[in-house]
Amino acid sequence: AQSVAQPEDQVNVAEGNPLTVKCTYSVSGNPYLFWYVQYPNRGLQFLLKYITGDNLVKGSYGFEAEFNKSQTSFHLKKPSALVSDSALYFCAVRDRGSGGYQKVTFGTGTKLQVIP
C-alpha cells in the first residue's frame, strides 16, 4: 500500500521569504513523487516530479523539491515567495512496482498563503 502525508493544513509566509511545503510518503518499493498546485476554481496543475537521478528536482514557476530517501520526504520549496503563489498544493506518490500504470495517491493538500 502507498500513502502520502502533508502534515500542515496551511502554511503562511511573507512575500519574498523562502517557502517550504512538507510531504512525506510511504511505499513498499521505490516511489515516483509529484507535486501539483490548484488555484481557486481551477483544476490541478502539474509542477514537478521525481523519477530518478538528482535528488533536487526543478519545476514550474521557480519551484523545486528535494527527494530524501532516508527521511521518505519530498518537500516543495521556493527561494522567494510571491503573492501569486497562494494556492492549494498537493503531493502525490506512485509505487514503481513491477511497471505499468498504477494509481496515484494524493495527499490531503496544504493551503499556502503568501502575505504581502
26 binds other proteins (CB under 8 A): no
Phi-psi bin for 98: left (phi > 0), alpha (psi -120 to 50), beta?
A: alpha
Interface map 32-61 toward other proteins (x if CB under 8 A): x-x-x----xxxxxx--x-x----------
- Of 7, 39, 2, 38, nearest to 20 by C-alpha is 7
Q: Is the distance from CB of 67 to CB of 50 less than 8 angstroms?
A: yes
CB under 8 A: which stretch of 18-26, 64-72, 73-81, 84-92 binds other proteins?
Answer: 84-92
Query: In this complex, which beta carbon is closest to other proteins, that of residue 16 or of residue 110?
Result: 110
Residue 58, burial from CB neighbour count under 10 angstroms (0-12, 13-18, 19+): exposed
Q: Which residues bind other proteins (CB under 8 A)?
A: 32, 34, 36, 41-46, 49, 51, 88, 90, 92, 94-97, 99-104, 106-109, 111
